[in-house]
A and B are shown apart, each in its own frame.
Chain A
């Protein structure tokens, strides 16, 4: 038996598959028996998914000002690599 409070405290370990098989069985049984925690897990998964998808993790800004590019190139030319 595990309480909802403890279940939620170990949620990341459960989702990251870091629990032992015995612990995992306890968690799986809890989700099956506790609809409240079942909903909580689904919302938690959705939260992670929404964060990833809505922040455009692999998006490339297309509005880079030329001024910024030129400033960076000029600054690089003025700051040669440190050799050695």
Chain B
């Protein structure tokens, strides 16, 4: 079983979830939490629960599970607040903890064997050339201009990946963990993480093909 606190690493990857809160204000909040200030509990929760629920919902498709993971994350973080050393932002620390809580919840729920990803991976001729040859995709708009239907399509495609591949893709490409951090959270080697990520991206590319191939409506 993964120790939630041990896994809460200090990368800046999750910093995108953090609002610019001054170190002094954050230090003050941590001291109040450690001192048992009842108003500090609610402040911590209200400031971070929205971000944490977003993360949990990405990993867990069931809303009740996502809320459970967020609650467990807060309780674990709070009970171990003395171990928060300030090497990272409080929000980054909480981000790592909710990622771990979500993955643990996912593992506890997994019952069915995963589907194979092989049919979504590229195939090659004997001489090593891609078979079939790669198609061209339509030109994609700039950030924020991707249509809602396309955004939904991409999210649904990610959800179609087997959990083994979906999780590594979420950790690396969406949650911003680096290879070593993702490997630690998943309990696999750095190399295995890289291999899984590569296969996950290839499979996602194949799933996105019908939507973004040149000639499809943009």
Contacts and interface: CB of A to CB of B under 8 A. Distances in A.
Interface in B106-128: 122, 124, 127-128
Contacts, number: 151
Interface string A38-57: 01101110111111111111
A58 to B, nearest CB: 4
Nearest to A60: B50
A36 B131 CA distance: 10
A76 interface: yes
A16 B19 CA distance: 28
A69 B45 CA distance: 7
Contact of A39 (B58, B80, B134, B154): B134
A24 to B, nearest CB: 18
Given A58-B17, A59-B54, A80-B36, A43 B205 contact: yes
Interface stretch (B20-28, B180-188, B194-202): B194-202
A53 B143 contact: yes
A75 B137 CA distance: 50
A50 B70 contact: no
A73 B50 contact: no
B50 A48 contact: no
A84 B33 CA distance: 15
Interface in B62-107: 67, 70-71, 74-75, 78-82
Chain A interface size range: 35 or more
Nearest to B211: A50
A84 B34 CA distance: 11
A50 B140 CA distance: 9
Contacts of B74: 72, 75-76
A40 B45 contact: no
Contacts of A5: 124, 128-130
Contact of B198 (A11, A36, A62): A11
Given A8-B122, A54-B154, A37 B130 contact: yes
B124 A55 contact: no
A70 B33 CA distance: 17
A4 B54 CA distance: 39
Given A5-B124, A39-B135, A52-B173, A47 B41 contact: no
Given A42-B137, A54-B152, A60-B51, 11 more contacts: A5-B129, A5-B130, A8-B122, A39-B135, A40-B130, A53-B144, A68-B70, A72-B45, A75-B74, A81-B81, A84-B82
Interface of A: 3-6, 8-9, 11-12, 36-37, 39-40, 42-44, 46-62, 64-65, 68-69, 71-73, 75-77, 79-84
17 contacts: A5-B129, A40-B122, A40-B130, A44-B205, A46-B140, A49-B140, A51-B154, A52-B173, A58-B17, A60-B50, A61-B53, A61-B54, A68-B53, A72-B45, A76-B75, A76-B78, A82-B82
